[in-house]
Amino acid sequence: MKTLCALLVACLLYAPGAAQTTEDQWTKEGNTVEHQGTTTGPQGQTIKAEDTWQRDGNTVEHQGTTTGPQGQTIKAEDTWQRDGNTVEHQGTTTGPGGQSVRAEDAWQRDGNTVEHQGTTTGPRGQTIKAEDTWQRDGNTVEHQGTTTGPQGQTIKAEDTWQRDGNTVEHQGTTTGPNGKTVETDTTWTKEGDQVTKESTRTGPNGQEVNQNATWTKDGNEVNKESTRTGPNGQEVNQNATWRKDGNTVNRDSTTTGPRGQERNSSDSWERDGSSIQHQGTSTGPKASTTRQSTLKREGSSVNRQGTRGGQVNPSGATRSRGGGGGRR
């Protein structure tokens, strides 16, 4: 359902210079939570969502309907049930043409081991099966997983997380149907008020993507500096600062691409009693966006209203590749 809904939103909203508004309300009454939401695009076309979650003992049920601009609907029904150390999920998503996707999952815990088995069945009966096992031994967690597609093709994943003092290391390998592998090696380290991350991702042909990031806390500020280096040595750099001042949190960020092109982003969240207001802007070589939203709690209801607008930068749109029109 997430993919279908995302397509509806993308088709409706993302036009140059367009503005969109969103309104949402969540209401809790006893063990029931209801949600109603409307997203309105630049030409007045709407996407409406209605959801209900209800808990009865160890069972949670969800029913949802998303209605697109032409009246097409996507319906979802889900049930989660817990019995001891086992949690089971059954869900059905039905698209506008009546085609449905069914999902069945079960998670079971036995001591320090958690096992998962899941099956997703498509409209034509084709299935995707998943099997996963997580096991903890002291400061080490290991994961093994296999996903099997409709034609029997498999994707296998092996992961290990290990903690040693203030350092956490992760090593992972994903093997595709043709035997090609992608390897990931990541280390997080905390020293005082600083956290660092060093990561290397190696593709099937030995090409590497490296990422180094540092977060530093200084009073009410957190600063981030990161560099991502691609296989050909091209770099993307980011500098960001989060700052808390009373009931206000500000974030400023600059991302610089391989050719020196910049994207600047600024956001502010302010809390006033039961309300949180957000204002943000992003400016890049080709376009700029603005966003505003208000989240307010009233009794057992939570309401959200938001507006998002965009504008194309004519000079950026006609800029040559050497001038900063590269990959963001």
Of 229, 233, 162, 167, the C-alpha closest to 201 is 229
- Asked whether residue 94 is domain-assigned, the answer is yes
For 51-83, the pLDDT digits (tens) are: 999 999 999 999 999 999 999 999 999 999 999
Give the count of domains, the chain: 1
**pTM of this structure:** 0.84
Rounded Cα–Cα distance for residues 159 and 143 (Å): 5
Quick check: 323 pLDDT over 70?
no
- Asked whether residue 131 is domain-assigned, the answer is no
pLDDT of the residue at 327: 37
Angle at CA 33, nearest 5°, toward 31 and 38? 175
Rounded Cα–Cα distance for residues 17 and 254 (Å): 22
For 283-312, the pLDDT digits (tens) are: 999 999 999 999 999 999 999 999 999 888
For 180-237, the pLDDT digits (tens) are: 999 999 999 999 999 999 999 999 999 999 999 999 999 999 999 999 999 999 999 9
- Asked whether residue 40 is domain-assigned, the answer is yes
Bridge partner residues of 280 (DSSP): 267, 291
The domain in which residue 65 lies consists of 1-13+24-98
For 87-120, the pLDDT digits (tens) are: 999 999 999 999 999 999 999 999 999 999 999 9
User: Percent of the chain having pLDDT more than 70?
Assistant: 90
- Asked whether residue 211 is domain-assigned, the answer is no
- Asked whether residue 77 is domain-assigned, the answer is yes
pLDDT of the residue at 312: 81
One DSSP character per residue, 8-44 reads: HHHHHH--TT-EEEEEEEEEEETTEEEEEEEEE-TTS
- Asked whether residue 91 is domain-assigned, the answer is yes
- Asked whether residue 32 is domain-assigned, the answer is yes
Question: Residue 184: exposed, middle, or buried by beta-carbon count in 10 A (0-12, 13-18, 19+)?
Answer: middle
- Asked whether residue 199 is domain-assigned, the answer is no
Strand 100-110 versus strand 32-40 pairing type: unpaired
Of 285, 282, 274, 272, the C-alpha closest to 315 is 285
Residues in the chain: 328
pLDDT of the residue at 160: 98
Quick check: 169 pLDDT over 60?
yes
Quick check: 318 pLDDT over 70?
no
Bridge partner residues of 279 (DSSP): 268, 292
Compute and round to an integer the Cα radius of gyration of the chain. 24
